[in-house]
Chains A and B, each alone.
Chain A
Amino acid sequence: MRGKDVTLDSVSITYPNGFTAVAPTDLRIEAGEFFSILGPSGCGKTTILRAVSGFIEPSQGRVLIGGEDMAGKGPNARPTALIFQNLALFPLMPVWENVAFGLEARGIGKRARRDRAQELLDLVALGDQGDKLPSELSGGQRQRVAIARALAVEPSVLLLDEPLSALDLKLRQHMRAELRAIQRKTGVTFIYITHDQGEALTMSDRIAVMNNGVIEQVGSGDEIYSQPRTAFAASFVGEINRFEGRVETVENGTARIVTPLGRFRARNPEQLAPGADAMLFVRPEAMVPGHAENRLSARLKRRDLEGAFLNLFFEAQGVELSVHVTNDGRAPELSGQDLTGLGFSAERAVILPAGPLARTGSELAAQ
């Protein structure tokens, strides 16, 4: 099996009711890449997946797979295979027939189908489960059947629509490693849809962060996490502290921002000009008690022990700050009214244009 590259050439998708699910998008996914599209539910990521697999045609633009225009080709004529969120295993067929279904559709004889199904079931470590019904398997096993079934048609591109979301945490973490291993072994291009940043960060070569039908940033996990380019990307991936303010001065790729908590210097990758409305973002682990280039004073409100590290929650003039420190015995204790000095370096903080943010956990819980 060989992966193929996938290109979205100014693809936009508008539903018949007028809702624009995907704004004009250019995207190139390399052959053999593990590419994740990460975004909250309703951001348009599944719509992109369905446009690549052929279940919907883009309203504008072209989808190319291996350089070939896919216009007018239905899902059964594309070199893609889709793994559905609910897996969509055929309940009345034994596992091996599920795996061999794509071969059956291609008119391959029963003997050859059975052999090929066996190889694939061996690949996903289900060699002895072929004669069971899907309902007799565990969640993780069903997951692997779905993967084997998709690989059976030797797709150039495997599309995965949040396939792990139904599994419990331990299994999910195990399946991440397994999916990554299968991708490496087969060399197939994986396009992985998820709202779980942990999945995206651990498995992907590159990640596209998507919101409201727009791809906000494409980059490696490290880039997305450490060098976010938009307020949404910064706030959606991982925990982050945010200060709203206005750019005061700029110099050498950094800028100084005025916030209610003080003046801070930080990187200015979007080259904001003085006077621009901006947000300053600092990761909890980049903020340290004690001295640093940027300083502020805050009151410790809560101290959550996670084991190897501590989550400290500070409050400064109505702004909540989250700080992660390793549990080295030197972390501040809860002590009532005392102010603690916090600091962060300009290198590990970023100033971005003010913009929509990802919803926080408490906002989601209030829904």
Chain B
Amino acid sequence: MSDLADTRSGAPVFRLPRLISADGLLTLYTWAFLAFMFLPLLLMVLSSFNDVSPPSVTDWRGITGKWYAFFWMPEEALRADPVLRALDRDRFVGCFGNSVLVAALVVPLSLMLGLAGAVLLTRWRSRANGVLWWVLLSPMLAPGIVLGLSALVFWGRLGVDAGLFTIVMAQTTFIAGYPMLILMARLQRQPVELEEAALDLGATPFRVFRRLTLPYLAPALASAAVIAFMASMENYNTTMFAKGGACTFATEIGAMARNPNGHPPVINAVGTVIILLTVAAAGLHTVLTRREAR
């Protein structure tokens, strides 16, 4: 690489003494980058097993599983622990349940909206397509707080109080964009002739959709569902503004993390579980994408 510099002109070239090769530099950078990304996660995982609150890895007090056991330990054990007894377990579990409920509604809604948008944008040939594309995708680009606030104001004017419903509505507006992009990418690779051939053989448009388009989209639908689910579960800012008095898993963790005395290591335990689930989901997604490629 560095040889290129002195072949360019005849002028003398000043060269730094070579301490490290270009490849070595790249390797160093890569490792530094990975460390920057993953060391905080590693610390979080380690501290989730350390018997000290607030969480620490330097102040090691022995291995414990109680930050995990918090979720299922008997009431007496809970009350006996000086850290855990300050936490409202029922509320925490309830908020998690809310998140699952919200995701269970947001995923099918955003799949349906995304599918409709993807079919429209890939199969409807019009000059309005470009405009429509930006209109449908703009919620993804809009700041989350704007979406949350606008859902709050819109539904409030209609007499709907902020709560789980407004969370679902606010999340769906931008999460629907993910399935749309994923499904569009897939649909664009399906030759239009396949649908034309089916029509030509006498199939109704509905049969074409059911027998050709839907089976073709199945793997993409599955991966879009996984991504929509994760986006819904982890969403904080939009949800924060749309939630009213309700809570979700993400907003509750947010509330606990704002504790001025440092957050309880339970959050680290939850984070570790989320990492495991995410890695599993990413693995699943890879498998599905591989299958889709066939």
Contact = CB atoms under 8 A, between A and B. Distances in A.
Interface residues of A, number: 26
Interface stretch (A74-82, A256-264, A301-309): A74-82
Interface in B172-200: 191, 193-194, 196-200
B201 A88 contact: no
Q: Which of B194, B200, B204 has the most CB of A within 10 A?
A: B200
Contact of A88 (B197, B203, B211, B216): B197
Interface string A143-187: 000000110110000000000000000000000000000000000
Contacts of B196: 55, 75, 82, 84, 88
Interface stretch (A30-38, A99-107, A195-203, A222-230): A99-107
Contact of B202 (A88, A92, A105): A105
Contact of A90 (B198, B199, B202, B207): B198
Contact of B194 (A54, A85, A90, A150): A90
Contacts of A153: 201-202
Interface in A301-354: none
Given A84-B193, A84-B196, A86-B193, A92 B215 contact: yes
Interface in B202-256: 202-204, 207, 211-212, 215-216
Contacts of A55: 196, 200
B191 A75 contact: no
B188 to A, nearest CB: 15
Contacts of B193: 84-86, 88
A291 B245 CA distance: 106
Given A88-B191, A88-B194, A101 B216 contact: no
A283 B194 CA distance: 43
A211 interface: no
B215 A106 contact: no
Contacts of B216: 91-92
Contacts of B201: 76, 81, 101-102, 105, 149-150, 152-153
Nearest to B207: A105
A152 B203 CA distance: 13
A81 B200 contact: yes
B254 to A, nearest CB: 44
B1 to A, nearest CB: 40
A53 interface: yes
Interface in A226-279: none
A54 to B, nearest CB: 8
Contacts of A53: 200
Interface in B105-161: none
A64 B46 CA distance: 78
B212 A75 contact: no
A106 to B, nearest CB: 6
Interface in A186-211: none
Q: Which of B191, B196, B202, B215 has the most CB of A within 10 A?
A: B202
B55 to A, nearest CB: 50
A74 B194 contact: no
Contacts of B212: 90, 92
Interface residues of B, number: 17
Contacts of A152: 201
Interface in A127-154: 149-150, 152-153
A82 B197 contact: yes
Contacts of B207: 105
Interface string B272-291: 00000000000000000000
B194 A102 contact: no
Contact of B204 (A54, A76, A84): A76
Contacts of A82: 196-197, 200
A283 B170 CA distance: 75
B151 to A, nearest CB: 39
Nearest to A149: B201
Nearest to A77: B202
A76 B204 CA distance: 7
Interface string A26-54: 00000000000000000000000000011
A49 to B, nearest CB: 11
B283 to A, nearest CB: 24
A76 B196 CA distance: 9
Interface string B5-42: 00000000000000000000000000000000000000
Contact of B199 (A75, A85, A104): A75
Nearest to B190: A91
A149 B196 CA distance: 14
A53 B197 CA distance: 11
B228 to A, nearest CB: 24
A1 B201 CA distance: 16
Nearest to B192: A88
Interface of A: 53-55, 74-76, 80-82, 84-86, 88, 90-93, 101-102, 104-106, 149-150, 152-153
27 contacts: A53-B200, A55-B196, A74-B199, A75-B199, A76-B204, A81-B200, A82-B196, A82-B197, A84-B193, A84-B197, A85-B193, A88-B193, A88-B194, A88-B197, A90-B194, A90-B198, A90-B211, A90-B212, A91-B194, A101-B203, A102-B201, A102-B203, A104-B203, A104-B211, A105-B207, A106-B202, A153-B201
Interface of B: 191, 193-194, 196-204, 207, 211-212, 215-216
Top 10 A-B pairs ranked by shortest CB distance?
A102-B201, A88-B197, A88-B193, A105-B203, A105-B202, A75-B200, A84-B193, A76-B202, A82-B200, A75-B199
